[in-house]
Structure 1
């Protein structure tokens, strides 16, 4: 998940409320927009008795020196089975990928292990039993974490090293091909769900426009605000590496904005000095190592290096990444052993949903759309039978 400064601004104007995550880096706030906390049914939540083994474990990454907390679920009564490592989206997530009262990866692991697939789900950096400093890390660091998990699986006698794959959601969906590009001999297949393959710079534009549409009316005001935002973002990270450089970038963009736009539009967007000052503060979070990396990273460069089979899935109601644009690009990048599907009435978080509005994630009782669970399971088992 990626959350833009527009969401923060909307929250400051009390247009929305949100659960901040992580609190140290507000530009990467989880895009969970809620007004009340009510208890909802979770019919897919796993309950004992479990028909697979569950092993809580810790391991040390040789390349990172970090300790990782994880849970491995393995099928019972099967000697040779595929294994997948789950990769969460943006934010420091626990191993269950707990978002809006749902445990997305616990539900996914339960289904897959019940159908003959071992699953390793791992706490992200600085979460649960995993060490490290999340806010100093980039997507490359997260890829190294996943590679450490794969290498640990390779040391186990109960895991077939030739049948290990990755399943990544959202940002995890672009981490997966990055790992496969790093160590192609260790990855047998990939599943990418809701992956922002067009790049997070474009995703920022997409999400910002959605948030601004609710704030700035008519369209002339919206277009002026988007021009201002893009002028600033186009200079990051090339010209903004520290606070002083960022302030210069924002000031130059604002100077151009004041000269270009009519007094009425200027007054609507920046009505007072407090708003002007807030504009500077809202862009400071883009100085974080993560933002500095993702704003210049093109996922296509790693996707093009992937030679193993890939399953790519989008929901047509995804409002956090543009499914049409991402789907079209991934179709161009894929090789003959890959498959792309667009699932009707599914949101970014894999739930059945006709609107895709992120504020509905918690209220939707189903954690993962059953057709997606079945597709992933069938596809992974098929790859395991074919071999690497």
Structure 2
């Protein structure tokens, strides 16, 4: 249930007084070629909706015949490449129609900016665009040189016909090269973790809006003596093969199990655990229930049946967007079931209770108090209630963290991109500290 790029999400335009903007522009002798040269590239701006701001990007290019091609992005909502139409007869004034979202933009080039109005659903809002690629500040993204080792590896889920590609990171002080085959193991065997991402096809870094949380976690762990294996989801990135259309969480669990067995069969690690985020946390408990791992880390994990968790998610997102009323579980189930969507239809019925109750290895289960996708008060308490007693267990809710474990204002998905923090430093410290205290002594 992570917020990956799943195509265009409906724009949320809140009711505001209609704002009109007029422009005076000096007469221009610019030719069409001059205009094309000026426009070519990406132009971005912030659309203020009252409660929040949405980044809007227009991408201008010309084809071989000199005709304009325009697309629009709404990166805060994970939408890219939305087809748009430019009225070339109106140049040098800009008149852009975006039919698939019933929106339009009109503006004028003025002193290096495009000043204009974005209209949708009867509302008109000012939008000023500036030329240039959007540069997102992600200060936690690790930069080389790294004080640890990495290796690109491949492993196999033979039953599914999937080849999974990933990155193995391990601390200094030992030679753990797996693919080389001839290296001798030197130094103390490290603890290793397999990292399992949330729902939707994602790369090994669980990348979203320029954030790379699994890379940040892997880097932190390697600097604190813990090895990790993170991998591209089946059929995504450098991973290949494996059925996707009919795949459910159980199938993705088999991919994660293949990663665990890959590490286990290498004989190069003292303990092997699994860190799962969102849907990946459910997979972590599945592996824990099967006795496949030595410990489980659940990040924003599910604690109740899928339909109950998803109904709570829908209601929280509605609340954050200013909508009144709630959706019942019965109504959600009636509307959510989709013919041909094997993953969702399976997940709606999935109850993690048995897997959690059958996980007898140590567990670290954490959620953020402002998570709008996996509601902490509902899911974390259910995990706490079902988990077998173990003095090594750590159950914790982090104040003011969202689904990605970023500090946030509301927890809304629309905030993810605008937040510079990728992963809370407190979570990183707790994660490395818990593994070290329980498995590295």
Shorter-chain TM-score range? 0.7 to 0.9
1:73 aligns with 2:181: no
1:39 aligns with 2:135: yes
**Partner deviation per Cα, 1:273-312 (whole Å, 9 max, x = no partner):** xxxxxxxxxx564641101111111011111110000000
1:179 aligns with 2:287: yes
1:341 aligns with 2:396: yes
Matches within 5 A, 1:165-204: 165-182=273-290, 184=291, 186-204=292-310
Which of 64, 88, 102 is 2:197 aligned to? 88
Structure with higher Rg: it is: 2
1:374 aligns with 2:426: no
1:112 match: secondary structure: helix
Matches within 5 A, 1:6-25: 11=10, 18-19=77-78
Shift in Å, 1:10 = 7.2
Alignment match, 2:221: 112
Unaligned runs of 5+ in 2: 15-53, 55-73, 83-126, 174-186
Q: Taking structure 1 as reference, are residues 302 and 10 closer, same or farther at Cα in structure 2, changes over 3 Å only?
A: same
Q: Taking structure 1 as reference, are residues 99 and 215 closer, same or farther at Cα in structure 2, changes over 3 Å only?
A: closer
Shift in Å, 1:62 = 3.4
Give yes or no for contact 1:81–1:384 (8 Å, CA) kept in 2.
no
Which whole-Å CA distance do the structure 1 matches of 2:438 and 2:363 have between them? 10
Unaligned runs of 5+ in 1: 24-34, 236-249, 251-282
Which of 329, 333, 343 is 1:290 aligned to? 343
Q: 1 or 2 for the larger relative contact order (CA 8 Å, sep ≥6)?
A: 1
Which whole-Å CA distance do the structure 1 matches of 2:144 and 2:359 have between them? 38
1:192 match: secondary structure: strand
Equivalenced residue count is 314
Give yes or no for contact 1:189–1:383 (8 Å, CA) kept in 2.
no
Structure having the higher helix fraction is 1
Structure having the higher strand fraction is 2
Which whole-Å CA distance do the structure 2 matches of 1:54 and 1:364 have between them? 28
Alignment match, 1:58: 154
Alignment match, 2:145: 49
Q: Provide TM-score, normalisation by structure 2.
A: 0.66
Give yes or no for contact 1:63–1:148 (8 Å, CA) kept in 2.
no
**Partner deviation per Cα, 1:79-113 (whole Å, 9 max, x = no partner):** 22100000111111100110111011001000001
Which whole-Å CA distance do the structure 2 matches of 1:366 and 1:9 have between them? 25
Shift in Å, 1:150 = 0.7
Shift in Å, 1:354 = 3.4
**Partner deviation per Cα, 1:213-236 (whole Å, 9 max, x = no partner):** 46786x4xx35xx35xx444445x
Which whole-Å CA distance do the structure 2 matches of 1:324 and 1:306 have between them? 21
Which whole-Å CA distance do the structure 2 matches of 1:8 and 1:210 have between them? 21
Matches within 5 A, 1:226-245: 226=327, 230-235=329-334
